[in-house]
């Protein structure tokens, strides 16, 4: 890893300064600000200093902007469960909950969108929060991350600016839960360090099929310390056991309109039905020597460590097996903080992480009404805890005794510090000048963005380019679009060309001069959802549309086959009263056609009679049901009697449209559905991008 020069600072590629006192940025106390880009650290790679009053004022004000709703991650869904390690991790950490494979540690996990308010929908193109509270025997450990492994910014100083930019524009109060507007892309186009994150947020990762099919990441580099005092760096990864999957954009838009609670409902119903969501916890473990030999800085939260360089060590599994009893009391009042750690886990000097250690606690004081929010049941440790903190708003405990201070000689039974059991940080020598300079090891903004884009499959690359075209077309100010096109050239010329063509702005990109020339890195198989997608229907949902005269034996065969694959089945009929099979027996559906568009399902089947299909073919809801399933690249099974409906929807036969007549054809349908979407179909369609 290159060493930075602490005597010099590099200007941002689009850094904006002024010599005019009238236009000088100042604190709320009127103190002029020299550097609004970097927090004060002990050396360019050192920890952030508490004395940085500019950082503290800026984040404190930001944290208290709204109450009681969270400023970010307001729209959330949560569930209870447990975590169990596979084997002792004593070689890397002394954390008690990672020592005994027989120990089940209670957890509460909350998933969320970032940009929208609590009343927004589940399916915007947005980063998803992935926060897990472990109630360990040594206290609460909060692993607070996202469903992408990097972030927009390198320093917490910029977090209020980022969120202000992506939220509803200040003068007009819209758009809600959307990044496709001027203020967001203005900020991003002036912040080259965001380019890696841009490729992730414009990818399919930010429109997940289900919270159950979503990866999670700790984002930052953390430490683990074992009983011998030895330290290792770690990166946290959550991997769903049923595999990851996303929807496509046209589908996401329609889902948000048809059921804005789609993700929340899906999680709730899966747990209620006993199909408990599961994730494995993986670690990338490395030492200081390895970190020093990497060609990027592990303290930079805009970078990943490819799994080809440091593979994952899978250490345990999380199972969510209980829904909340009360949404407000639990999901809404749960308070996570990355500073909540247990002995055996520690921090790195990542400047974004260092700012988060302050910010979360501060914002919870406002949101939850005072310093005693830890007494709310969902936040309370499951182990005994005692201290000399007293009073405050919403105090629900009744401490006894005369001594509320330490040390004291009045009450020998009052709690005391414990040098042998208590938390101790990893001891390391730190030297450096007090500075706001940013290390030059953070300066490569494009190489890993290129790595991510070039690691994707062709359909994923096409979706990313289409997303950028959609978002930038919503931008009103041409200079913003031109700047972004200039950045895209450094990520990949083919990506820039695709977006330019989509916008009709060929040759209008700004010339951006990067601080470090982008490098071409080896592709990483693990970065593509499609390359590592398992062939499975486990946890997926099959939608079967029935109409009068349908073949009941085929319906039974489909249900049996889906159950064997651990997939859910929903029966849909034109009306909620049901449909009669070919023998005249009435079958009650789960849903009616008008309330169950095909966007809700991973694969679909149409079972009709020769007469009932004639009526279906005249109904817009039925035609759209089939047309959307085909347009969203899903596998479609159908009986011969259903052909008039397929013809009315304009389906072109391909390997994903399968005629059903017997058990053998049902097996063929299931096998094809396990492979997921028919990506070869997409280029032939005008929709969706």
Active-site positions read 73, 146
**Hey, what long-range contacts does 198-202 have (CB within 8 A, 24 or more apart)?**
198/449, 198/468, 198/487, 199/449, 199/452, 199/453, 199/464, 199/491, 200/148, 200/149, 200/150, 200/452, 201/125, 201/126, 201/127, 201/148, 202/125, 202/464, 202/467, 202/468, 202/471
CA atoms of 414 and 403, how far apart (whole Å) = 8
DSSP annotation of 35 = -
Cα–Cα nearest to 44, from 154, 194, 195: 154
Residue 146 in tokens:
């996202």
DSSP 429-486: -----EE-PPPGGG---SHHHHHHHHHS-HHHHHHHHHHHHHHHHT---HHHHHHHHH
- How many CB atoms lie under 10 A from the CB of residue 415? 12
Report residue 631 CA to chain centroid gap. 26
* 253 neighbors 631 (Cβ within 8 angstroms): no
Residue with tokens 């005794």: 401
* 195 neighbors 448 (Cβ within 8 angstroms): no
Cα–Cα nearest to 79, from 99, 106, 103: 106
* SS3 state at 292: helix
Residue 216 in tokens:
């999670």
Strands 636-638 and 434-435, bridge-based pairing: unpaired
Nearest-10 Cα torsion for 491, 492, 496, 499: -90
End-to-end Cα, the chain, rounded Å: 39
- How many CB atoms lie under 10 A from the CB of residue 82? 17
- Asked if omega into 68 is within 30° of 0 (cis), the reply is yes
DSSP annotation of 3 = P
Helices (H) and strands (E) in the chain, counts: 17, 20
CA atoms of 579 and 616, how far apart (whole Å) = 13
- Within 527-635, residue ranges assigned H as helices are 552-564, 612-616, 620-631
Nearest-10 Cα torsion for 427, 429, 434, 440: -100
CA atoms of 184 and 249, how far apart (whole Å) = 20
CA atoms of 638 and 646, how far apart (whole Å) = 9
Residue 13 in tokens:
């590629």
Cα–Cα nearest to 83, from 65, 99, 94, 70: 99
Give residue 270's region: left, alpha or beta (phi > 0; psi -120 to 50).
Answer: alpha
82, β-bridge pairs? 106, 319
């Amino acid at each position: 890893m290159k060493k930075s020069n602490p005597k010099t600072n590099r200007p941002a590629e689009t850094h904006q300064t002024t010599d005019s006192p009238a236009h000088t940025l100042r604190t709320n106390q009127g103190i002029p600000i020299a550097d609004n880009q970097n927090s004060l650290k002990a050396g360019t790679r050192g920890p952030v200093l508490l004395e940085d009053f500019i950082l503290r004022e800026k984040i404190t004000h930001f944290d208290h902007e709204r109450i009681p709703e969270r400023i970010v991650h307001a729209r959330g869904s949560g569930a209870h469960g447990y975590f169990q390690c596979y084997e002792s991790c004593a070689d890397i950490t002394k954390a008690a909950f990672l020592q005994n494979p027989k120990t089940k540690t209670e957890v509460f996990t909350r998933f969320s969108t970032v940009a929208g308010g609590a009343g927004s929908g589940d399916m915007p193109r947005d980063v998803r929060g992935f926060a897990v509270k472990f109630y360990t025997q040594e206290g609460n450990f909060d692993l607070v991350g996202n469903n992408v492994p990097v972030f927009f910014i390198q320093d917490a100083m910029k977090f209020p600016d980022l969120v202000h930019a992506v939220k509803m524009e200040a003068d007009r109060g819209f758009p809600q839960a959307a990044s496709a507007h001027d203020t967001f892309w203005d900020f991003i186009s002036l912040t080259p360090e965001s380019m890696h994150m841009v490729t992730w947020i414009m990818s399919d990762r930010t429109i997940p099929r289900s919270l159950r099919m979503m990866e999670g990441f700790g984002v930052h580099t953390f430490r683990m310390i074992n009983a011998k005092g030895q330290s290792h760096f770690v990166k946290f990864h959550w991997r769903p056991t049923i595999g990851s999957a996303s929807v496509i954009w046209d589908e996401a838009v329609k889902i948000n309109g048809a059921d804005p609670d789609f993700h929340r409902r899906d999680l709730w119903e899966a747990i209620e039905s006993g199909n408990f969501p599961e994730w494995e916890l993986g670690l990338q473990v490395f030492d200081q020597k390895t970190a020093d030999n990497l060609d990027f800085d592990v303290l930079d939260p805009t970078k990943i460590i490819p799994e080809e360089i440091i593979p994952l060590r899978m250490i345990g599994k999380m199972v969510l097996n209980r829904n909340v009893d009360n949404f407000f009391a639990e999901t809404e009042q749960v308070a996570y903080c990355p500073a909540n750690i247990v002995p055996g886990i520690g921090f790195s000097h990542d400047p974004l992480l260092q700012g988060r250690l302050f910010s979360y606690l501060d914002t919870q004081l406002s949101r939850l009404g005072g310093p005693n929010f830890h007494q709310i049941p969902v936040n309370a440790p499951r182990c005994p805890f005692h201290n000399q903190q007293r009073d405050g708003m919403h105090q629900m405990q009744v401490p006894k005794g005369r001594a509320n201070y330490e040390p004291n000689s009045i009450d020998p039974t009052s709690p005391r510090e414990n040098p042998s059991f208590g938390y101790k940080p990893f001891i390391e020598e730190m030297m450096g000048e007090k500075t706001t300079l940013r290390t030059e090891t953070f300066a490569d903004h494009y190489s890993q963005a290129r790595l991510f884009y070039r690691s994707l499959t062709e359909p994923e690359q096409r979706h990313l380019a289409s997303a950028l075209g959609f978002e930038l077309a919503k931008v009103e100010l041409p200079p913003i679009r031109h700047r972004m096109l200039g950045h895209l050239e450094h990520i990949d010329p083919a990506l820039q060309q695709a977006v330019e063509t989509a916008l009709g702005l060929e040759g209008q990109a700004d010339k951006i001069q990067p601080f470090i020339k982008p490098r071409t890195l080896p592709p990483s198989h693990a970065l593509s959802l499609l390359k590592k997608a398992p062939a499975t229907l486990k946890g997926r949902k099959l939608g079967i549309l029935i109409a009068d005269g349908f073949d009941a034996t085929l319906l039974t065969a489909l249900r049996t086959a889906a159950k064997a694959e651990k997939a859910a089945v929903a029966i849909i009929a034109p009306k909620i009263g049901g449909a009669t099979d070919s023998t005249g027996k009435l079958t009650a559906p789960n849903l009616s056609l008008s309330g169950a568009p095909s966007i809700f399902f991973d694969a679909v089947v149409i079972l009709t009679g020769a007469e009932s299909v004639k009526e279906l073919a005249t109904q817009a809801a039925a035609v759209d049901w089939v047309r959307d399933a085909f347009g969203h690249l899903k596998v479609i099974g159908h009986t011969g009697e259903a052909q008039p409906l397929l013809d009315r929807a304009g389906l072109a036969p391909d390997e994903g449209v399968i005629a059903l007549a017997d058990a053998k054809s049902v097996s063929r349908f299931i096998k094809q559905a396990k492979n997921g979407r028919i990506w070869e179909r997409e280029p032939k369609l005008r929709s969706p991008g």
